[in-house]
Amino acid sequence: MALPCQLLGMNCATPTEFALSWPDFCQRGGGTDIHADGWGL
């Protein structure tokens, strides 16, 4: 069974620092999750 790719989205009512989420999301591409090709695509 093929797993769907993962997408990161942010919806904020106030200015938000995107950099707080980006490094953790990038690690999911084989570092902390099963998507070994790098981006889960």
| Active-site residue list | 5
- Which two structure tokens, joined as six digits, stand for 20? 């707080």
Which token pair is 32? Answer: 């902390």
Count of CB atoms situated within 10 Å of the CB of 38: 11
